[in-house]
């Protein structure tokens, strides 16, 4: 009997990690090129063919620009080429949600996942969803960029209100759960929330959010090996098909989410109305 990971690979798509902190000296990931190379080796051993480098972009903390990230990706690719490591590194970023996102988009300064102009990885604050979040997410959508909410299972608001993520999904916003959350690395509450998002089809991707070659990346391999048990029927889409669509800038099939759109007014609409009045 082939393992889940063997079977999924045979069905045949490259395994791409959409969320990783692999660029050296950019954030709280690896500090040196040697550490990034070690991390890349671990990715290849774990079965990945490509990763999207998504360094944190947080005003006042990690002030990276589109240009500096693209340059960092090119440098790392050269290091991996020189070291003979068969891992593609694609450009991206993990943007902290701020009111600068839409102006940056207009200025052509945002770096979307694989720079296709289609999907933007966005990190919300850990505890809550700020009142301005809905406006910014909608404006991105209207501008043709689909926000991908990073690790909603680790946001206290979404973890406690899974329906809130359904409402966002129904409006076309995507979400990425972390492999380590599904394996229990972050605790029981996060595991339960991640499982629920998979079950209710409001998460479209599983990624590692690795910051080194350790446990988060190992969790990525663990999820592949136990894909049927952890991800059910959506395993192929969550691990292979959807990340491939995102990196090629194609549309996801989100019909299930749209059908689940709430009929009644939601917390999201009430936040929007308050903003429109103010």
For binding to Fe ion (CB under 5 A), which residues are involved? 94, 209
Distance, in Å, from the CA atom of 197 to the CA atom of 218, rounded to the nearest integer, reads 21
Cβ closest to Fe ion, residue 122 vs residue 170: 122
Smallest gap from Cβ 131 to Fe ion, in A, equals: 24
Smallest gap from Cβ 207 to Fe ion, in A, equals: 9
Smallest gap from Cβ 253 to Fe ion, in A, equals: 26
Q: Report the relative pairing of strands 94-96 and 50-53 from DSSP bridges.
A: unpaired
Cβ closest to Fe ion, residue 148 vs residue 254: 148
Tokens 């020189």 — which residue? 82
What are 103's two structure tokens?
């102006």
Smallest gap from Cβ 20 to Fe ion, in A, equals: 8
Cβ closest to Fe ion, residue 138 vs residue 158: 158
The residues that bridge with 207 in the sheet, in sequence order, are 178
3-state secondary structure of 222: helix
Cβ closest to Fe ion, residue 153 vs residue 209: 209
Distance, in Å, from the CA atom of 207 to the CA atom of 132, rounded to the nearest integer, reads 26
Instruction: Give residue number: closest CB to Fe ion.
Output: 209
Cβ closest to Fe ion, residue 154 vs residue 171: 154
Q: Which residues contact 80 (CB under 8 A, 6 or more apart)?
A: 37, 40, 87, 89
Tokens 């902290």 — which residue? 96
Smallest gap from Cβ 193 to Fe ion, in A, equals: 17
- What angle in degrees, to the nearest 10, is found between the helix axes of 267-277 and 162-170? 70
Smallest gap from Cβ 21 to Fe ion, in A, equals: 6
CB 110 within 8 A of CB 244: no
Cβ closest to Fe ion, residue 4 vs residue 209: 209
């Amino acid at each position: 009997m082939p393992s889940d990971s063997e079977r999924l690979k045979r069905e045949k798509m490259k395994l791409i990690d959409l969320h990783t902190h692999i660029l050296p000296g950019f954030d709280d990931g690896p500090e040196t090129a040697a550490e990034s190379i070690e991390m890349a080796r671990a990715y290849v051993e774990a079965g990945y063919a490509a990763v999207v480098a998504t360094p944190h972009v947080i005003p006042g903390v990690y002030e990276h620009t589109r240009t500096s990230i693209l340059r960092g990706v090119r440098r790392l690719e050269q290091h991996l080429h020189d070291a003979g490591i068969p891992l593609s590194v694609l450009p991206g970023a993990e943007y902290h949600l701020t009111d600068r996102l839409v102006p940056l988009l207009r200025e052509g300064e945002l770096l979307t996942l694989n720079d296709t102009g289609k999907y933007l990885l966005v990190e919300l604050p850990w505890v809550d969803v700020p009142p301005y979040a809905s406006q910014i997410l909608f404006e991105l959508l209207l501008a043709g960029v689909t926000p991908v909410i990073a690790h909603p299972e680790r946001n206290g608001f979404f973890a406690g209100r899974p329906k809130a993520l359904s409402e966002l999904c129904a409006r076309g916003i995507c979400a990425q759960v972390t492999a380590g959350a599904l394996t229990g690395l972050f605790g029981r509450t996060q595991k339960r929330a991640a499982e629920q998002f998979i079950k209710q089809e409001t998460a479209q991707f599983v990624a590692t959010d690795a910051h080194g070659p350790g446990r988060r990346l190992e969790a990525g391999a663990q999820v592949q090996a136990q894909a049927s048990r952890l991800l059910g029927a959506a395993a192929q889409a969550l691990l292979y098909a959807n990340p491939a669509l995102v990196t090629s800038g194609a549309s996801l099939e989100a019909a299930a989410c749209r059908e689940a759109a709430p009929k009644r007014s939601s917390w999201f609409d009430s936040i929007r109305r308050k903003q429109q009045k103010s």
